[in-house]
Amino acid sequence: MTNLVVFLDIPFLRLVSGFIFLAILPGSLIAWMLKLNRIGPAEKAALVAGLSVAFLLFFGLLLNNLLLAVGVETPLSTVSLMISFDIAFIMLLIAGCAVNKDPTFPPPNPYLSRHEKAFLIIPVILPALSMLGAHIMGVTGNNTVLVAALLLTPAYIASVCIYNRKFPERLYPVVLYLISVSLLLIYALRFPHIWGHDAHAEYYMFQTTLYNLHWSIIEHALLDACLSISLLPTIFQSITGADSQEYLYKGVYVVICSFIPLAIYAISRRYVGDPYAFLASLFFVSQPTFLSTAGSARTNVAIFFVALAVMVLFNDKIDPAKQRILFFVCILATVVSHYSTAYIFFFVVLFSWVAAEMVARKYVFERTMSLRIVLFFSVVIFIWYAQLTDAAFSVGVAFVRDTLANLNNFFLEESRTDMFQLLFGQGLAYSVLSKVNLLVTWCTFLFIGIGVLTMVGKFQEMVDIRDARLRKPDFLKTRFEVGYLTMVLACSGLLLAIVLLPYISIGYDIYRLYSLVVVVLSVCFVMGGIVLSKRTGLKLKPYLIILVILLSYLMFVTGVAYQIFGAPVSVILNSEGDTYACEYIHDSEGCAAKWLAPMLKENARASVTDLFGSHRLLSQGIIPPDRIDDYSFTGHGRRREYIYLYYTNAVMDKLVVNGTMCNMSEYRGAFIGYGRVYDSGSSEVFKR
């Protein structure tokens, strides 16, 4: 079917069947071939999605290099990919038939009772409501539908928890996925163009790969190591032939990363059961980095594989040999997806192994982490980052060096990022609301801390060691593995390190680190709430206390709580403010960037007033980074041939200098000797 609609280029059907062909079929065939019949539907759904993405990354890279080696200049063209995927999928199908005695796919049970249909009404509506609300917000600026969707979500979550005895367990993964999709769609569709700090450079890598129809080292920079933002979307675009490449780019990551909560649900339900696993997964969903998946693609794809690796490692329903294979595949996929996430996960794995070896001197337990895994991980990192793509390894070494060199600044506030000042109540924009937000945020930290300390303090009760004489707590479905405990300690140690070591918080975004460690610590969040409820003697159900903090946290992160009380903080719900002015890209700005692109040939370069101007040239004009200079305008460096002004500069007469919005009038001297050669009313280009 996909061959037919692709080569006949049938609108809509090509997009839909192409997505199924790439995002579901390869993973389904591999899972069928591995006979993963004992795992639950949540694990299987997450694994199918993860194996599909991993297959596209590795098979796509292999195909790219093989065809280039034999003289095919466009290995990522539609024809090359379709023929190659056809052959690969047929081979997987033959292998699956050989392995399985009964070569059939067991169909899922499609029957839903009236009771189940009633519980699914709202989750099914939520994605449609998100798309409608984002469209209305973009056209009219009215946020009523978006606010309604963001209020309906926590209300439904609360009803599921309150009526958990009546809620069908098999619906938890479905509901979780639909909630995740609906929230991610709001952030993906709110802006018509690419948005986010790194997303513009990532989109430039995708467009350059798509233009060349092959993957190669483009910039000899960090992003060359991330196949998740270059090779992966190029394959989807070549097969689906989407008209709007920006929407396809964002949509690919919405579809893929919506499976991360399913992996966390599968991890958590093993220890705390379905209702609390549902809450643990929603705690991850509430993280800003996850919600902004459309603006931080490579990070979230890598976190997806980290979650899958943890899920596989601690799943006793997968045969040990297949478990190791899947874990190694997840490690490989993490490494080629995002360098920073791979480095952090490597340190988690390394510390977990070292700590487990220390515990093994006193206790006997089943090993989940081994020296073989640590060595494999380190070798893969060295080969991919140091030998093949180069830049990511040099930056990683420099990061460790600078962290150690800055230890003498331990007591200097200026040596830490501004985020820590906000966490301790300094520089809050809205006094009362921000203090409540701060209180809720610290409550989530408190819950996690209580959960971690409980695991450590009640080690013999809660951890699976041989000859354990103490009974496990009644809120645990099963005991934790020692390997999971050591991972929890490693993740907690990373959070402490980013607070204690000055340079780490500046060199790496704390939001990204927190989203990564929450993959492991989400179960500690709900466990902390349960323990706190029991220790304080409150007669309320533990899930009610967790629910209050979780939903409050979600309301503040999405900006709904601020919006209700008249504080226009969130750019998702408002079309005003400095953040919106910098992030929102008007069509006219894109037209100006596209007009400028052919002018920047040979040694010609363009100056932009600030970083947000360079974002527009990268993602809209697809202008190489070495042709853009965002420092010369304010007096640092020599003057360039062109100056590009975007809406905030040309209409609002503002620019951003060192994170502060300033008046353009202060820099009028920079235009001496330049003449205006392009003016769309909201974007201008000057030439010397």
Q: Is 211 exposed, middle or buried (0-12, 13-18, 19+ CB in 10 A)?
A: exposed
Residues 454 and 560 in one domain: yes
Residues 74 and 156 in one domain: no
51: in domain: yes
Residues 138 and 262 in one domain: yes
* pLDDT of 608 higher than 50: yes
How many domains does one find in the chain? 3
* pLDDT of 7 higher than 60: yes
- Out of 537, 564, 591, a domain closes at 564
Residues 168 and 197: beta-carbon distance below 8 Å: no
Residues 90 and 10 in one domain: yes
Instruction: Please give the Cα distance from 134 to 377 (Å, whole number).
Output: 41
Residues 396 and 269 in one domain: yes
Sheet-wide strand order for 684-687: 628-629, 606-608, 642-645, 684-687, 675-679
Residue 253: name the closest of 282, 238, 280, 232 by CA.
232
Confidence tier at 411 by pLDDT (50, 70, 90)? very low
Query: In this predicted model, what pLDDT tens digit does every residue of 256-292 receive, in sequence order?
Result: 999 999 999 999 999 998 999 999 999 999 999 999 9
* pLDDT of 602 higher than 90: no
Q: Regarding predicted confidence, which is higher, 405 or 650?
A: 650
Residues 308 and 428 in one domain: yes
Residues 360 and 474 in one domain: yes
- Out of 531, 564, 597, a domain closes at 564
354: in domain: yes
Residues 350 and 422 in one domain: yes
Listed in sequence order, the residues at least 6 apart from 166 whose beta carbon sits closer than 8 Å to its beta carbon are 115
Residues 455 and 329: beta-carbon distance below 8 Å: no
236: in domain: no
Sign of CA dihedral 567, 569, 575, 581: positive
Residues 560 and 584 in one domain: no
Q: What is the DSSP letter of 463?
A: B
* pLDDT of 633 higher than 60: yes
290: in domain: yes
* Mean pLDDT taken over the chain: 88
Residue 356: name the closest of 314, 323, 412 by CA.
314
571: in domain: no
DSSP 510-571: HHHHHHHHHHHHHHHHHHHHHHHHHHHT--S-HHHHHHHHHHHHHHHHHTHHHHHTT----T
107: in domain: no
Residues 528 and 663 in one domain: no
**What's the average model confidence in pLDDT over 346-351?**
94
The two tokens of residue 175 are 């509901």
Query: In this predicted model, what pLDDT tens digit does every residue of 383-410 receive, in sequence order?
Result: 998 888 877 777 767 656 655 555 555 4
**What's the average model confidence in pLDDT over 643-651?**
91
**What's the average model confidence in pLDDT over 56-65?**
96
**What's the average model confidence in pLDDT over 622-645?**
78
pLDDT of 639: 67
pTM value? 0.93
478: in domain: yes
Confidence tier at 500 by pLDDT (50, 70, 90)? low
Residue 683: name the closest of 655, 650, 656 by CA.
650
* pLDDT of 504 higher than 60: no
Domain interval for residue 93: 2-99
The residue type found at 510 is I
Residues 609 and 535 in one domain: no
233: in domain: no
Beta bridge partners, 654, equal 663
- Out of 564, 599, 615, a domain closes at 564
Listed in sequence order, the residues at least 6 apart from 425 whose beta carbon sits closer than 8 Å to its beta carbon are 435, 438
Residues 10 and 90 in one domain: yes
Residues 587 and 562: beta-carbon distance below 8 Å: no
Beta bridge partners, 642, equal 606, 687
DSSP 99-155: H-SS--PPPP-----HHHHHHHHHHHHHHHHHHHHHHHHHHH---HHHHHHHHHHHH
